[in-house]
Amino acid sequence: DADVTQTPRNRITKTGKRIMLECSQTKGHDRMYWYRQDPGLGLRLIYYSFDVKDINKGEISDGYSVSRQAQAKFSLSLESAIPNQTALYFCATSDSSGGGYGYTFGSGTRLTVV
Amino acid sequence: GENVEQHPSTLSVQEGDSAVIKCTYSDSASNYFPWYKQELGKRPQLIIDIRSNVGEKKDQRIAVTLNKTAKHFSLHITETQPEDSAVYFCAASYDRTGTASKLTFGTGTRLQVTL
C-alpha cells in the first residue's frame, strides 16, 4: 500500500550528537513536511518542501536542517542535539493536484536526547 | 502567521452522548480546515475536512461546521462510542488549491468516552 515511512521509529541520542531522521513516501505526493509533537502543544511545523528545489522554514526551524533528496525522500537533521529537542517527530505529505485534501502522516519517530 | 486555538483540552462524555470540540483561527484567508484523530501511540488520521466555501459537512456520526465570519469551526460527534476515545486535532491552512498546505494545528482535545 502507498504509505509514508519514517526511520528510525525510536532513537536515543546524547547531547551534542548529530542525528538524521528519514522519511520516504510512495504516495506520489509533491509536498512534504516535518512536524514535532509535544504534550499540550500539538503539532508544530519545522520545515516544509513543495518540490525538490523548494525548502522552507516553519515556525520552529532553529536547530534543525532538512534535505529533499528526491520527490519521495525528505530528511530532517539535528546538527547538535539538545534535550529540549526530545519529542515525537512526524513526517507528512500532501498532494497539491487536488487528488486529495489532507495530510498523510508517517508513523513517527520518538527521539530522546539525554 | 496563522494561529489556531482549540477547546476544551480534555472532554469526558458518556457512551451515547454527543461531543463538541471548538476551534478558532486568526487568518481570514485560511480556506481548508481538517480534523485529525490520534489514538494512543499512533499517527494522526484525517477524519473529516471542510473547505471555506462550505458551511457544514457530515459523515455518518461526525460533522464539522464552519463560521467564516466568526472564524471558528467545530467538530460534532454524535452517539459516541468507546472507540471514539482519542486525541483530536483541528487545523487550518490557506492554499490557492484549497488543499492541505502548511497546516497550523490546535493543541488537541483528549476525548474520553466512558461506559
Closest CB to B32 among A43, A101, A106? A101
**Encoded amino acid at B85, one letter:** S
Strands B72-77, A104-105: pairing kind: unpaired
Of B1, B95, B106, the CB nearest to A59: B1
Give dist(CA A65, CA A55) in Å, integer: 10
- Give the alpha-carbon dihedral of B47, B52, B53, B57, to 10 degrees: 30
**CA of B53 to nearest chain A CA: how many angstroms apart?**
14
Q: Cα(first)–Cα(last) distance of chain B, in Å?
A: 41
Work out the minimum CA distance from A38 to partner chain B, whole angstroms: 9
Q: Which residue of A has its CA nearest to B91?
A: A43
Q: Does B35 lie at the interface with A, CB-CB under 8 angstroms?
A: no
Q: Do B102 and A45 touch (CB under 8 A)?
A: yes
For chain B, give the percent of residues with pLDDT over 70. 100
Over 90: is that where the pLDDT of A76 sits? yes
d(CA B11, CA B27): 27
Q: Is B63 helix (H, G, I), strand (E, B) or coil?
A: strand
For B73-91, the pLDDT digits (tens) are 999 999 999 999 999 999 9
Residue A1 has pLDDT above 80, yes or no: no
How far apart are the CA of A91 and the nearest CA of chain B, in angstroms? 10
Mean local confidence (pLDDT), B55-73? 96
CB contact under 8 A, A94 and B32: no
Amino acid (1-letter code) at residue B72: H
Tell whether A40 lies on the interface with B, counting CB pairs under 8 A: yes
**Cell numbers standing for residue B95:** 492554499
Residues B21-37, mean pLDDT to the nearest whole number: 96
| Residue A85 C-alpha, separation from nearest chain B C-alpha, in angstroms | 18
Omega before residue A83 within 30° of 0, cis:
no
Q: For residues B48 and B98, which has the higher predicted lDDT (pLDDT)?
A: B48
Question: How confident is the model over A18-43, as pLDDT tens digits?
Answer: 999 999 999 999 999 999 999 888 99
How far, in Å, CA of A76 to CA of A46, rounded? 9
Please give the grid coordinates belonging to residue B46. 484525517
Show Cβ contacts of residue A89 under 8 Å, excluding neighbours closer than 6 positions: A6, A21, A34, A35, A36, A37, A46, A76, A108, A109, A110, A111
pLDDT, one tens digit per residue, over A52-73 is 999 999 999 999 999 999 999 9
Contact A42 B106 (CB under 8 A): yes
∠ CA B15-B19-B22, nearest 5°, is 165
**Residues of chain A found within 8 Å of residue B44, distances taken between Cβ atoms:** 43, 90, 103, 105
| Alpha-carbon distance values, A108 to A83, B40, B101 (Å) | 18, 12, 19
Q: Is the dihedral of CA B26, B98, A91, B22 positive or negative?
A: positive
Contact residues on chain B for A95, CB-CB shorter than 8 A: 99
